[in-house]
Structure 1
Amino acid sequence: MAKILVVNKFYYRRGGDCIYTIDLVGLLQSHGHDVAVFAMQHPETLQTPWNKYFPEEVKFGLGTSSFKAILRPFGTADVIQKFNALLDDFKPDIVHLNNIHSQLSPVIAEVAHGRGIKVFWTLHDHKLLCPRYDCLRNGTICEQCLDNLHNVVKHKCLKKSYIASFIAYFEAKKWNRDRLEKCTDQFIAPSQYMLKKMKSGRFTSPKITQLYHFVDEKKYENVDYKKEDYYCFVGRLSPEKGVATLIEAVAQLPYKLKIVGDGPLKEELITKVNKNAFVEFLGFKSWEEVKTIVGKARFIVVPSECNEVLGLVALEALCLGTPVLGARIGGIPELIEEGFSGMTFESRDVEDLKVKIEMMWNARFDYEALAEYSLQKYGSESYYRQLMNIYKQSV
């Protein structure tokens, strides 16, 4: 059995990359692998036998630690020292990277590769292609940095700041495609969309494998598939998630919408709703609460306005037997079979979204069949077999 070191900058249930990382550790352990974890310290970090190796937390912004935060993306001595100590102790056969830029940096890929350890890297965002992670500029999709990295400075893409944008530019220059390919045995793209995007960024095709994310089937037990009269949105309340467009579309619709999540747009959105009795803000919820809310919803809406690498919320909903109305952007449409698992609409198009909500409300789906099909397609056992094949082809 291979010894596997799983790496992500955060190790608590913060976002999709963190949930995937935690579930991956559990999956590998359930199959008898000896698994270690490397992440950054944080008050919410899950306890593991390896926490003593985690480098201290850095926060990006003004303050006494700002200088250390500026240096961290380029590979600092404390990260290298802690990572080497873990490698010495654990002696992994494989290092499986996830989100590592900025707080940990790709220096750990070079360290592992330099010691003859195989390195695999699951991609959760566009950081290898875009210095600001999301291929957005002023709220619209932008891919200019695929041709010229200096555009990140020209347009002040990071926090509308020349300083922040210069740091992102130099980070991207240091961790360029050639350097990353040399220390990575295989990049794992969670969608066909991301596979094509990596190729358009001139990453070498044989270095990239497509493999959809997975779900832990145990989390989807005891679902009765009885739906109630509401639909929902689950996610961060921020501009790129499209929730403002959703609010605009539902203003005149007589259907109950439950919004789960928190974020910078929350107060503005609550004001915009203006006591609309058909819209309810529920705030942040635990997985068990989300499972109940999404499981009983007639459908969920994923109205993203950025190129999502895949869309974990949509995948989770499908495995609960809940259809998805998703924006035709990024990897989201790959999860939706029109008429069977949901529908799609043109991202940012308020009228199209409104019409499709009405159609979804009046449509009929076989919820149990949808859950059964999705759990089989995205289940952990199938994922494990495919992941082991990827490992073996490079080991």
Structure 2
Amino acid sequence: MTVLLAHNFHRTTLPSGEDVMYRRERALLEQQGLKVHTFELHNDSTAHFGLIDYVRTARDLPFSRRVYAAFAARLREVQPDLVHVHNTFPLMTPAVFAACKAAGVPVVHTLHNHYLFCANGTCTLNGQPCLRCLDERSIRPGIRHGCYGGSRLATLPVARLIRRTWQQGFLAGHVDGFITMTAFDRDLFTRAGLPPERLFVRPNFSPDPLATLDDPAPPDPSEPPYVVFVGRLSREKGVPVLLDAARRLSVAVKIVGSGPEADAFREQATDLPNVSFLGQRSQAECFRLMRRAHALVFPSVCYETFGLTLIEAFACETPVIASDLGGITGIVEAERTGLLFPPGDAAALADRIHQLVSTPNQARTMGRAARRVYEACYTPAVSFTRLLEIYDAVRRSTAA
């Protein structure tokens, strides 16, 4: 099978799980013998944009004629059996779907974010979960609150995009199959009006760290315990909640990652000797930190489309302490593979951290259970099988 993959990369300075999963999936398909071609755009290209460039990008958000022409040419060149589109925001635009429709090529779209109905793509408002635009079936709340970039003006072009792709039914009319990573998100996108018969659930996957780490030893009981956070340093990821919880604890809290609010968070933690910011680390270093940790902390306050570090911790045989919110609860089973706490509740988070750190036998038992779940559900082999099932289903439906 010949597959054309399309993806709009985020900025290198703002690492994204979407980019990680696209690269992993591209490598997986190649390793499994599929003929893979790509069409890729990078937000790094906007670093030297001038005012005219930004105005043009904003104008073209709903549909870029230049991207349509370039992608149509790529389709003619590659002649794929199927196109798999990942992120299209903001440069690729939904024009790629129109090009597929015109060429008669089946297209699958992985819904990595919520830009279909949410102006900031994260379903948060003032640090709290928010589904107002979806509930009201209108982008007006997003405009009113300036949800994109904290600006009503900046939100207007995104509102035009949402109005076209969601409210005018463009996406539903041009995509043959949609992939969500959780059942919770499948239900959200069904509420948004996407055809349920074209929505497929396929979780993300992780390589096996225990097969690649030089020293895959578990936590050493003689070493001081610590918990670890790995992710983008931004408000919706729950970093302020974690810092507040750390004030109530003596256990070490290691924070890995970078993001737009990293400096502000470091400033907030200057009086917290148990908190250390480790910056951006390689995949191998993250796996090593997770493997040695007593728990991974996942304090997100937004409706995550998945939460890649959850299953990476599972793969490292490390339990997870996570927000009891959205699709997270379909991944982390309370008291079996980890612990859940009410989103935004720092006191409850501190209590869960103390519970696992003070009961290492319980943590080890949960870690072993998490590893078994990883092996059953989140390996590359399991994920590839599921992806081929979706590809086959979409090709059959479009051929009928």
Q: Same fold per TM (> 0.5)?
A: yes
Separation of aligned partners in 2, 1:299 and 1:174: 43
| 2:81 aligned with 1:93 | yes
| 2:243 aligned with 1:250 | no
Matched with 1:8 is 7
Separation of aligned partners in 1, 2:391 and 2:71: 21
Q: Could you say what secondary structure the match of 1:215 adopts?
A: coil
Q: Where in structure 2 are there 5+ consecutive unaligned residues? A: 396-400
% identical equivalent positions: 25
Q: Which amino acid aligns with 2:21?
A: Y
Aligned partners of 1:294 and 1:300 also within 8 Å = yes
Matched with 2:393 is 393
Q: 1:210 aligns with which of 201, 207, 224?
A: 201
What is the deviation of 1:64? 4.2
What is the deviation of 1:331? 1.4
- Residues 90-142 of structure 1 show CA distances to partners (whole Å, capped at 9, x for unaligned) of 11111111111321111101111221111111111111121321122232222
Matched with 2:292 is 296
Q: Where in structure 1 are there 5+ consecutive unaligned residues? A: 44-56
What is the deviation of 1:12? 8.7
What is the deviation of 1:272? 2.3
- Residues 52-85 of structure 1 show CA distances to partners (whole Å, capped at 9, x for unaligned) of xxxxx34698634212221331222321222122
Separation of aligned partners in 1, 2:253 and 2:187: 35
Q: Could you say what secondary structure the match of 2:163 adopts?
A: helix
After the TM superposition, which of the residue ranges 214-223 and 294-303 deviates more from structure 2?
214-223
| 2:187 aligned with 1:196 | yes
Matched with 1:39 is 40
Distance 1:322 1:10, change over 3 A: same
Q: Could you say what secondary structure the match of 2:347 adopts?
A: helix
Separation of aligned partners in 2, 1:267 and 1:26: 34
Aligned length: 381
Distance 1:392 1:224, change over 3 A: same
Q: Which amino acid aligns with 1:320?
A: C
Matched with 1:262 is 258
1:31-70 aligned at under 5 Å gives the runs 31-41=32-42, 57-58=45-46, 63-70=51-58
Separation of aligned partners in 1, 2:261 and 2:11: 23
Q: Which amino acid aligns with 2:155?
A: S
Aligned partners of 2:317 and 2:371 also within 8 Å = yes
| 2:215 aligned with 1:225 | no
Separation of aligned partners in 2, 1:273 and 1:69: 38
State the Cα RMSD in Å: 2.1
Matched with 1:370 is 370
TM-score by length of 1: 0.91
Separation of aligned partners in 1, 2:189 and 2:49: 30
TM-score by length of 2: 0.89
Separation of aligned partners in 2, 1:95 and 1:118: 6
Matched with 2:176 is 185
Separation of aligned partners in 2, 1:323 and 1:259: 17
1:101-180 aligned at under 5 Å gives the runs 101-146=89-134, 147-176=137-166, 178-180=169-171
1:76-91 aligned at under 5 Å gives the runs 76-91=64-79
What is the deviation of 1:208? 0.7
Aligned partners of 1:58 and 1:68 also within 8 Å = no
Separation of aligned partners in 2, 1:306 and 1:126: 11
Separation of aligned partners in 1, 2:138 and 2:9: 30
Q: Which amino acid aligns with 1:110?
A: A
Separation of aligned partners in 1, 2:42 and 2:210: 27
| 2:354 aligned with 1:361 | no
What is the deviation of 1:314? 1.0
Q: Which amino acid aligns with 1:139?
A: G
Q: Which amino acid aligns with 2:277?
A: F
After the TM superposition, which of the residue ranges 247-256 and 362-371 deviates more from structure 2?
362-371
Distance 1:106 1:60, change over 3 A: farther
1:346-357 aligned at under 5 Å gives the runs 346-357=342-353
| 2:281 aligned with 1:285 | yes
Q: Which amino acid aligns with 1:17?
A: E
Distance 1:84 1:263, change over 3 A: same
